Amino acid sequence: MLKEKNMDFDYPVKSAYSLTVEALENTLSTDRDKGISNAEALKRSKQLGFNSYKSQKQKSLWRMALEQFNSPIVYLLFLAAFASLYFENTIEAITIFIVILVNALIGFFMELQARSSMLALKEMDVSYSKVIRGGKTIEIPSEHLVPGDLLLLEAGDMVSGDGRIIFSNGLQADESSLTGESFPISKTNETLTRKIESAHALNMVYKGTAVINGNAKVIITGIAEETALGKISEMVGSTVSKKTPLDIKINRLTKKLIWITLGMTALFAVSGSIEHQPWLQILKTSIALAVAAFPEGLPIVATVALAYGMLLMAKKNSIVKKLSSVETLGAVNVILTDKTGTLTENKIYVEVLSFPEEELHVSIKKGTLDFKGAKIEKSKKNLALLIRIGSLCNNAPLDPSTKDKKASGDPIEIALLLLADAAGFPAKMTASEFSRISEIPFSSETKMMGTLHKGADDFFIAAKGAVGKLLAKCNSIQLGDAITDLDENLRKKILENAEQLSASGLRVLAFAYANSTEKPEDDYLQKLTYVGMVGFLDPPRSDIKDAISVCRSAGIKIVMITGDHPMTALNIAKRVGITAENDNQVIKGSELPEKELLKADWIKRILSTTVFARTTPKQKLEIVEVYQKAGFIVAMTGDGVNDAPALKMADVGIAMGLRGTQVAKETASIVLKDDSFSSISQAVEHGREIFQNIQRFVIYLVSCNLSEIFIVTLLGFLAPASMLFPLQILFLNMVTDVFPALALGLGKGDQTVMQRPPRNPKLDIISNRNWFVIIIYALMMTGSIVLAIFLCRVYVSDDVIVINNVAFITLAFSQLFHVFNMSSVHSGMIKNEVTKNKFVWISILLCFLLIMGVYAFPKSRMALNFIYMPFQAWLIAGLASTLPLFCVQLFKLFRRKRLISVR
């Protein structure tokens, strides 16, 4: 954003953290006490626009509808329809147009439903900000905030613009959505001279973050795109969306089918010319071949299968915004996940109680303090004192168990209150016994907080803070019931212990106290008695380890990419099973080169690392790119603004629905309603099952169509007058093919799908081995039709229409029975995933009824060139159609026995 000529202030402000308050006042033409006037604010708002980032533009309904027709399959169907119109085959053309329309409507309405789900998740409340304008405190909509405004912040507020702090009273901010840092950041109003990384200045607040403690006065230095959040949003806009693997594979399959169609048509045309067949006959046969070669039902079946998967995933707390993303999840072989809130609870709990004579690992289960099998022996007095100090030297609400999401407070202080309640010493009771007289607030300089209280008989001083800083104020130490001098050896031991706890990824605070019979002086944080330390942690979610274990057994690599501290990241990674206990490799963002990330040595190092810490949004984006260029199908999870660019770049972006920022949710292709990593593993399982179903029905459809090609070609040479008509073939493709294929697409997949590695993403839907199997299936069905025609000529009639009808019925029935050949070779002959699929039985019954219905009505019978056939012809067609099923099942039976004998 360039400065306009009529602007009487400098904007945007560069390195506002390094400017003094006076310099900032001059730069933005504002006043630290009065702010700017309402008139000036209105003027600036007109010059710079509203304080809102550019939300990703939603596709119009027209564009969404038109995109349903944008695929090679649909192009080919349009070509077939117009060709039918040209040759005055109106019924064929109308049928194909209906297929195209139904497919488009299904895709359109499923994506529309996903959009509606996203709108339901979007926060509809308008946020407000408290500012001083013209010396008066007023409340304005946050989007009306302008540079130079004097913003007032207090605990519970969302920061609505980037700003320089000019006054701070114990201000702490939760910046996890922007930086990934799980612990609150203590702020200052001092001018910073050294160069600071973007969104990390301690004397600045940033749009989209939350105030959890204290209060402050801030001069707004950036709005909209000129905020740290806005710059990340711009990065999201510049990231190019990619085609999904399924789109690419279906397009490749379509091209192969087109070439097969053209090849067979050309072969027949050349052969017919050599044999001097009439050109009209050659043309009709070529059209029949073109119709036979292409599975017109494929787009509908694929769309319905994906839509069904989309609905199933919605029931399992996953909103899928694009149909093809359902299948892409099944191809994922690496998940790049954020830490804070995704793997962890995004809540701070007490993890370790470290006393001078013993150290205890603790947890809170069902409101009770659990020492994890250990017993507290020597430090009962220390524990009681630490709990009292933690309850009194605390500004959090005294009811930490509240479920009100808007409740504010330092998460560390809330954790201390939860500890007190779990230990049986409720903070409310302690506070009622010791009334607070004064407070020395925490500051970035002292790194301590102290409170003075009046007890029944004396005064009690409670203090907590950084270990080194607080120890400097202590001259004695609590050892059980006794108090002794704090000598240098004990100090050294405590500091070494604190370093060990910090190295394991814990946030460590020390606790001390003092008693006095008389009211102390103002500087009462002197001659304190050291009690112990507490190690805090944002712990892993309870179900996360099992979910990650499932993913790893499925051959999916899990990589943590976070903005948090390296040791904290490594600690969590080891706990949840992302990395081994003896693996301490972490790459920090500061170690990653700016321009050499895609060089061979760095690619190798990145691909062998499972934990990345202190990463920037740009680095997350580059790590995604490294994995994609190495051939991986990448899923990226995240909730913060800092995750959005990588979410868009990934093959599947997964955002958190409950606590995710709007930027992340708009960018992702899948949104989790419960924010649970377990939902991701379930979604991957669904994706794999859906791909199995897609592969199964594609093999079914293509083998059916190939059998039609073979029989049309064969009859074209041997009995042109009895050849199947294009409309008959289209009826087969849209009835006897589509409904069983749909049933296969809606079936339950292999239950062991998550016990095998992901499929090779470079392989097509139909592999070379699959093509071989398809040809065998097609030849068997063709052979059954040839047998039926031969038997019909010998025992029934050699009439061309009767032979045509026998060929049609045999082909139709053999294709219906062929659906049972789609079961796995590992499953039983009678009980398998196909025979257990109720949709298969419904589809077969429906197809039989439709075929009988066509025969029953004169007009439909006439349109498809059907006649009443003698019973013998029906019997021949019925028996011959079971031959492929019998042969395939016999082969599978011998194959199963061979597999069992090998085992």
The residues annotated as belonging to the active site are 338
CA-wise closest residue to 727 among 73, 93, 82: 93
| Pairwise CA distance, residues 534 & 791, whole Å | 89
Give the span between the Cα atoms of 127 and 716, in whole angstroms: 73
Q: Determine the Cα–Cα distance for residues 563 and 642; give it in Å rounded to an integer.
A: 9
Which amino acid is located at 649 in the chain? M
DSSP 616-644: -HHHHHHHHHHHHHTT--EEEEE-SGGGH
Characterize 393-409 residue by residue with b for buried, 16 or more Cβ atoms within 10 angstroms of its Cβ, and e for exposed: bbbbbbebeeeeeeebb
Residue 12: is the preceding peptide bond cis (ω within 30°)? yes
The Cα–Cα gap between 549 and 593 comes to 32
H/E stretch holding 256:
helix 245-274
Structure tokens at 373: 């099998």
The four Cα atoms 352, 413, 390, 384 give a dihedral, to 10 degrees, of -50
Strands (E), 194-340: 204-205, 210-222, 318-320, 334-337
Nearest to 397 by CA among 152, 168, 170, 212: 212
d(CA 608, CA 630): 12
Q: What Å distances lie between residue 903 and 747, 896, 897, 900, CA to CA? A: 29, 11, 10, 5
Please state, in angstroms and rounded to a whole number, the distance separating the CA atoms of residues 672 and 658. Answer: 8
Closest by Cα among 380, 319, 317, 391 to 353: 380
How many CA atoms, within 13 angstroms, populate the side-chain half-sphere of residue 63? Answer: 4
- Bridge partners, residue 132, by sequence: 137, 150
End-to-end CA distance of the chain: 70
- Residues near 493 by Cβ (< 8 Å), separated by ≥ 6? none
Q: Please tell me the distance from the alpha carbon of residue 565 to that of residue 587, in angstroms, as a whole number.
A: 11
Is 858 exposed, middle or buried (CB count within 10 Å of its CB: 0-12, 13-18, 19+)? exposed
> What is the phi/psi pair of residue 635, to 5°?
-105, 135
Residue 425 burial by Cβ neighbours in a 10 Å radius (0-12, 13-18, 19+): middle
The CA distance from 201 to 69, in Å, is 50
Of all residues in the chain, what percent are helix, strand and coil, respectively (each to 5)? 50, 15, 35
Instruction: State the CB neighbour count (10 A cutoff) for residue 466.
Output: 16
Distances in whole angstroms, Cα of residue 44 to Cα of each of 13, 37, 41, 145, 528: 15, 11, 5, 9, 53
**Cα–Cα distance, 723 to 730 (Å, whole number):** 14
Residue found by looking up tokens 């087109």 in the block: 258
Query: Collapsing DSSP states into helix, strand and coil, what is residue 481?
Result: coil
